[in-house]
Amino acid sequence: MPITVAPPKDLAERLLSGRTARQWQRIGTRRRSGVAVPLFSVSSESSCGIGEIPDIRLLVDWCRNTGISIIQLLPINDMGFNFRPYDAQSIFALDPMHLALPQLKRVEAQKWAAEIQAVREKFPTSRSRVDYRIKGTKLELLWRIFSETVTRIPAELAAYANANAFWIEDYALFRAIKEQQGERDWQEWPRELKERQTAALEAFAASNSRALLFQKWLQWQLFEQFRSAKAYAGSYRVLLIGDLPFLASRDSADVWAHQDYFKLDLASGAPPDLLYSQGQRWGMPPYNWPNIAAHGYDYVIEKLRYAENFYDAYRIDHVVGMFRLWTIPMTEPETTAGLNGVFDPADEKEWEAHGRQLLDVMIDNTDMLACAEDLGTIPPSTFRVLDEYGIPGIDVQRWARHWGKTYDFKAASDYRPVALATLATHDMSSLLGWWEIEAGTVDKGLFERACRNHGIDFDDVAPLLFNLGETRHNRLRWSQVDLTEESFLQIIGKTEKEAWGVVDLFRGSIRERDQFLKFLGCPPGTALANPHLFMKKALARVNATSCIFTSLLLQDWLAVDTLFDFDPWEARINFPGTVNDRNWTLAIPMPLEDIVEMPVNNVIQEILKQDGRIATP
């Protein structure tokens, strides 16, 4: 019989009596395990070129066969033609490339079967990378279907548009104008359209009514397919967690429609840190919170209310940005990245109250449970508020260590109870990729900067410390894994006090592999001799943590099976700080129908039984 282990009684009582009690009451406080996956990475035998909304049903079937009870999706918002999920053209609208053409509502699918099959054959899903040309091809066919099918506005579509009037009118205008303007940024449109002059918008709408209706029709179809998928997941008590990007793209319907809600003279980013000496400049405009507050936070509330149609919980991306956000003047040259910026609010004393206010608005206006991406440099007040409110953060196994002390990996019981444990996020390498390339190594740029900061000549010491010929992906591998700290200090010619930053990098990496194998309970050499046993141990360990939830990348779940073979480094969703054709294109070249029946499912089920996360029938 499957077993279910409840969280400690005091934790359950705390969650059910705290700030998010209503949300926890709705989904329950039992321990769960989940899978994190972008919809574009998976597909079914009937998919046309990319994962489609109804394919979520097959993910649910896979969950039923494994005992997993959470599906965490990356953003499915309309990305336009830039294909960056966290820089979408709408925080509301979904991307029409994820529509299943044979399942369009009020459409005679058989009439279009041959054309749909032609698209399917042109864009097979047996590839390891997404071909985003599928979107343009699908939209062309969708327009033909719409043109021949929709002769008058269906009552259901009219009701849908009326219920979502806050955003859909502006979105439809934005997409129609953008298409007419050759996909140019709205800030480059004719002045009367850019400035949203009433007469100009009314004239455009009048002469392009079919184009606007088409955009609404697409969103209605997406709404119907997604709502059906959610109902299917709910019938098997599988939770869907959505990912709501914290920031809106500068070139988005949101920013164009509510220009006073954003500080267009500023760009969002991150301050300088150990990895980015000049900080980061993302480009999205910061929110003008006073203006949003003056309108009763309608933008925030409406965003959550729409997402509630599809999800049981949601991930707040970059949650620290709700407390304080790094902002850079647009007049700053791109070459300075995030170097010359300031926090907003500027006064650190305001950060906690600012974050509380925004979280209060969100909690009070949705039944979805908030989960927080709280990785990186986070002020203590953020962690304190999240814990007090009962909002799960994220604990990453490879980073959960006793930093600055023993550097050992934390015991399973030392993880935060109100958190989601994982092996990796979409911005990280898979576990096997980390082990092969990163574990036991040092980032070259980081080590160079640390040497420079402490007056050490990197070019002199590097050949004595590292096997430079084995440097891969900018990772320096130590030449002696048994190098003592005393010998290390002699090589760099400094004392611990004089070079604490470099010493910290040494201590954190020199024995990292041995420490991780000890943490897993594996003998030396296990990962090379038996990578699938290594994966099984890592999966078991992360699911044994005290975190109430776990959510692991699909590629990490499947890596425990010898039938799923892949390059562990390339099986990565995003390489942060880079622009290349590998980002946001990862696809698993195996249909979900096969994954549902894989032998690995029994292994996963045994792990979840053992660790008390199995979903009960």
In this prediction, residues 336-349 reach a mean pLDDT of: 95
In this prediction, residues 335-346 reach a mean pLDDT of: 94
On whether residue 367 sits in a domain, the answer given is no
Cα–Cα distance measured from residue 39 to residue 50, given in angstroms and rounded to the nearest whole number: 8
- Supply the pLDDT for residue 68: 98
Distance from the Cα of residue 418 to its chain's centroid: 19
Distance from the Cα of residue 434 to its chain's centroid: 18
Work out the mean pLDDT of the chain and round it to a whole number: 94
Q: What's the DSSP call for residue 7?
A: P
Place of tokens 């205008």: 173
On whether residue 36 sits in a domain, the answer given is no
- Give the torsion sign (CA, 596, 598, 602, 605): negative
In this prediction, residues 386-402 reach a mean pLDDT of: 97
* pLDDT per residue as tens digits for the range 81-92: 999 999 999 999
Question: Angle CA(574)–CA(578)–CA(583) in degrees, nearest 5?
Answer: 30
For 502, how many CA atoms within 13 A lie in the half-sphere containing its CB? 29
pTM of the model: 0.95
Containing 499, the helix (H) or strand (E) segment is none
DSSP result, 44-88: -TT-SSS--GGGHHHHHHHHHHHT--EEEEPP-B--TTT--GGG-
- State yes or no: pLDDT of 393 exceeds 90: yes
* pLDDT per residue as tens digits for the range 596-606: 999 999 999 99
On whether residue 304 sits in a domain, the answer given is no
Cα–Cα distance measured from residue 552 to residue 319, given in angstroms and rounded to the nearest whole number: 20
Place of tokens 């010493």: 503
Containing 435, the helix (H) or strand (E) segment is none
- Whether 51 contacts 76, CB under 8 Å: no
3-class DSSP assignment, residue 265: coil
What residue type is 64 in one-letter code? R
Place of tokens 């574990």: 439
In this prediction, residues 390-410 reach a mean pLDDT of: 97
- State yes or no: pLDDT of 183 exceeds 70: yes
Six-digit token string for 61? 């079937």
- State yes or no: pLDDT of 277 exceeds 80: no
Count of CB atoms within 10 A of residue 369's CB? 23
- Supply the pLDDT for residue 560: 87
Of 23-27, 358-362, 608-612, which gets the smallest average pLDDT? 608-612
- State yes or no: pLDDT of 172 exceeds 70: yes
DSSP lists the bridge partners of residue 475 as 443, 472
- Whether 552 contacts 430, CB under 8 Å: no
- Supply the pLDDT for residue 447: 95
Q: Which residue has the higher pLDDT, 616 or 409?
A: 409
- Split into its structural domains, the chain has a count of 1
Read off the pLDDT band of 561 (50, 70, 90). Answer: confident
Count of CB atoms within 10 A of residue 228's CB? 16
Q: How far is CA 103 from CA 107, 108, 180, 229, 231, in A?
A: 8, 9, 29, 12, 16
Return the CA Rg of the chain: 25
- Supply the pLDDT for residue 408: 97
- Supply the pLDDT for residue 576: 84
In this prediction, residues 3-16 reach a mean pLDDT of: 77
- State yes or no: pLDDT of 1 exceeds 70: no
- State yes or no: pLDDT of 122 exceeds 90: yes
- Supply the pLDDT for residue 5: 52
Angle (deg, nearest 10), helices 209-235 and 133-149: 110
For 227, how many CA atoms within 13 A lie in the half-sphere containing its CB? 11
Read off the pLDDT band of 563 (50, 70, 90). Answer: low
Residue 613: closest CA among 15, 62, 68: 68
- State yes or no: pLDDT of 2 exceeds 60: no
Long-range contacts of 19-24 (CB under 8 A, 24+ apart): 19/363, 19/388, 19/389, 19/390, 20/363, 20/369, 20/370, 20/389, 20/390, 20/391, 21/390, 22/367, 23/313, 23/363, 23/366, 23/367, 23/368, 23/369, 23/370, 24/369, 24/390
On whether residue 467 sits in a domain, the answer given is yes
- State yes or no: pLDDT of 6 exceeds 90: no
- State yes or no: pLDDT of 566 exceeds 80: no
160: left (phi over 0), alpha (psi -120 to 50) or beta: alpha
Cα–Cα distance measured from residue 556 to residue 129, given in angstroms and rounded to the nearest whole number: 18
- State yes or no: pLDDT of 276 exceeds 80: no
Six-digit token string for 500? 């604490």
Read off the pLDDT band of 486 (50, 70, 90). Answer: very high
- State yes or no: pLDDT of 185 exceeds 60: yes
Enclosing domain of residue 471 = 441-510
- Supply the pLDDT for residue 7: 67
- Supply the pLDDT for residue 615: 81
On whether residue 457 sits in a domain, the answer given is yes
On whether residue 453 sits in a domain, the answer given is yes
Residue 51: closest CA among 215, 59, 567: 59
- Supply the pLDDT for residue 343: 97
Name the H helices within 512-552: 512-520, 526-529, 531-543
Name the H helices within 365-499: 380-389, 431-433, 444-453, 458-465, 485-492
Q: Is the peptide bond before 380 cis (omega within 30 degrees of 0)?
A: no
What are the DSSP E strand ranges found in 169-251? 239-244
* pLDDT per residue as tens digits for the range 278-334: 888 999 999 999 999 999 999 999 999 999 999 999 999 999 999 999 999 999 999
- Whether 556 contacts 416, CB under 8 Å: no
In this prediction, residues 457-467 reach a mean pLDDT of: 97
Place of tokens 């979805």: 368
3-class DSSP assignment, residue 476: strand
Q: To the nearest whole percent, how much of the chain has pLDDT over 70?
A: 98
Residue 282: closest CA among 326, 240, 234, 244: 326
On whether residue 44 sits in a domain, the answer given is no
- Supply the pLDDT for residue 126: 87
Q: What's the DSSP call for residue 402?
A: -
On whether residue 532 sits in a domain, the answer given is no
- Supply the pLDDT for residue 182: 96
In this prediction, residues 147-163 reach a mean pLDDT of: 94
473: left (phi over 0), alpha (psi -120 to 50) or beta: left
- State yes or no: pLDDT of 263 exceeds 70: yes
Read off the pLDDT band of 565 (50, 70, 90). Answer: low
Six-digit token string for 245? 């990007």
- State yes or no: pLDDT of 354 exceeds 90: yes
Backbone phi, psi, residue 596, to 5°: -60, -30
Count of CB atoms within 10 A of residue 506's CB? 22
